[in-house]
């Protein structure tokens, strides 16, 4: 439950955002939920320091067959860093953002990004890592075009198209990796790769596809050509 709460907090705000109509209440709740998310990441970090690694198997399905949520010291630190930055951005946005963007769902979609970020850092299998990346993609795509200006729309369309191409590479790589390894659980993949050191070259096409997918989504060199337009 301790890791699932990291999913539940932003998801709860999204559900409330659909029900509530007054922008002022949404803005106040955004501060409350962003603060709660930061506090809970501190709880996770403390628990990880005591237990080293936290593993939660959803639906009581054992790994590697079910969905696993995993946190170690590195992922807990990244969760804390993301939560701290998100709280700062939320505080700044409540004071400086124009009313039109608030009405158009700025806080709603920003929590969609937080949901994807939290899910990505605690995903225990590579397919769910892809799913959480897509949650971030959808939310950030809408945020980029929220102002409705031509440059924003052009940048968001470029972002969407190129990230969908990145998703194709990513999914293709996942499919090849599953065909070779027979598992999507990251710990299980690592274990099976350690047993087949002499055959690791057969995994190169899958790993290259996954890397290219990540590189496009993360705007790594030389796949950063879509990034400048996204800052309009």
pLDDT score at 148:
65
pLDDT score at 102:
62
Percent of the chain with pLDDT over 70: 94
Helix runs in the chain, H state only: 4-19, 23-51, 73-96, 99-103, 106-122, 126-144, 150-181, 186-195, 204-218
SS3 20: coil
23 Cβ contact partners less than 8 Å away, ≥ 6 residues apart: 99, 102, 103
User: Which of 175, 181, 172 is closest to 213 using CA atoms?
Assistant: 172
81 pLDDT band, cuts 50/70/90, is very high
33-55: per-residue pLDDT in tens? 999 999 999 999 999 998 888 88
pLDDT score at 101:
64
Q: For residue 58, count CB atoms less than 10 angstroms from its CB and return exposed for 0-12, middle for 13-18, buried for 19 or more.
A: middle
Per-domain boundaries in the chain = 1-125, 148-232
SS3 185: strand
pLDDT of 202 higher than 80: no
d(CA 9, CA 14): 9
91-136: per-residue pLDDT in tens? 998 887 766 666 667 888 899 999 999 999 999 899 999 999 889 8
DSSP 125: B
């Amino acid at each position: 439950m301790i890791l699932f709460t990291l999913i539940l907090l932003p998801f709860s705000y999204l559900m409330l955002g659909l029900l509530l109509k007054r922008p002022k209440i949404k803005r106040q709740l955004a501060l409350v939920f962003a603060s709660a998310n930061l506090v809970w990441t501190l709880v996770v970090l403390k628990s990880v320091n005591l237990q080293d690694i936290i593993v939660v198997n959803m639906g009581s399905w054992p790994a590697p067959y079910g969905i696993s949520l995993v946190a170690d010291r590195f992922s807990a630190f990244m969760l804390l860093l993301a939560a701290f930055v998100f709280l700062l951005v939320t505080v700044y946005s409540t004071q400086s953002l124009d009313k039109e963007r608030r009405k158009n769902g700025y806080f709603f979609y920003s929590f969609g990004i937080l949901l994807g970020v939290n899910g990505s850092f605690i995903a225990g299998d590579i397919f769910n890592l892809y799913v959480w990346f897509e949650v971030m993609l959808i939310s950030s795509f809408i945020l980029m075009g929220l102002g409705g200006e031509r440059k924003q729309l052009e940048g968001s369309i470029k972002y969407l198209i190129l990230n969908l191409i990145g998703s194709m590479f990513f999914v293709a790589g996942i499919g090849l990796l599953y065909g070779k390894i027979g598992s999507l659980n990251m710990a299980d993949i690592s274990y099976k790769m350690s047993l087949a050191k002499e055959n690791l070259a057969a995994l190169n096409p899958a790993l290259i596809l996954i890397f290219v997918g990540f590189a496009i989504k993360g705007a790594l060199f030389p796949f950063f050509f879509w990034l400048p337009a996204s800052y309009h």
